[in-house]
Amino acid sequence: MIAALDNPMFFIALTVGAYWLGTIIQKKTQLVFLNPILLAMLFIIGFLMLTGIDYEVYHVNSEFINMLLQPAIVCLAVPLYRQFKRIKQQAWLIVMSSFLGCVTGIISVVLIAWSMGAPKEVVFSMAPKSVTTPIAMDVSRVIGGIPSLTAGVVIFVGIFGAMFGYLIMKLFKVNNPISQGFSIGMASHALGTSKSMEISPSFGAFSTVGLIVNGILTAILAPVIIQVLSYFIDF
């Protein structure tokens, strides 16, 4: 029976079905922590464990979905183009906010992890936590982190931001739509941007800007920041 399941169509249907079921559960319960992506992950992990199917089998057979991620990212350019005039008007503020947010995000997570006694490799793995997985894993590899651990942290940060990001900003009375969308994109990359798209194309556009700019800055600044901190801290 397990051998019969070893085909791409089954695993593609499993993945899509798990996400669809997650969206149904969230709509029915209206509970913010029941994020469809998180639920889909739990469903698929549980299924693989119960059936004894190796993750590599699932990964290979669901490769088609991974291929769709690239055109999906390109689709983010549509709301970006439609909001280009507003983005251009805010360009200077966007660049400055991105720089400060990127530096603060990297330094804070590194110092917190170090102060809690985490090993050097774990500390460095945390640095690129707020950018999309491919960039984060490459940065982690360059600065001496553990790419697989970084990938897990990135997913956790993205899901957390998608679930609670807007609630946290509401709590601290951050009500400007541009600030909200941009902050979610910077802090929670593609998963946060997906949540922003659900609210409105305007939120999604500025969230996309935050995702892109923070990804570029993190790739450039993370190795430099880690090197500078290494002069003052014995990791």
Average pLDDT by stretches of 10, the chain with 235 residues: 67 91 89 83 91 85 78 75 84 90 93 92 92 88 92 90 89 88 89 85 87 91 93 84
Residue 212 CA to residue 131 CA, distance in Å, equals: 9
Per-residue pLDDT, 5: 65
Q: What is the DSSP string of 33-52?
A: T--HHHHHHHHHHHHHHHHT
Q: What is the DSSP string of 56-103?
A: HHHHHHTHHHHHHHHHHHHHTHHHHHHTHHHHHHTHHHHHHHHHHHHH
| Cα dist from 34 to 24, 72, 180, 223, whole Å | 10, 23, 21, 35
Per-residue pLDDT, 3: 54
| Residue (of 59, 61, 66) closest to 8 by Cα position | 61
Residue 96 CA to residue 135 CA, distance in Å, equals: 21
Per-residue pLDDT, 219: 92
Rounded to 5°, angle at Cα 26 from 35 and 77: 55
Per-residue pLDDT, 45: 92
pTM over 0.85: no
- Residue 19, token pair as written in the block: 């996400």
Q: Which residues contact 22 (CB under 8 A, 6 or more apart)?
A: 34, 35, 36, 37, 38, 39, 40, 43
Per-residue pLDDT, 116: 92
- Residue 94, token pair as written in the block: 């966007």
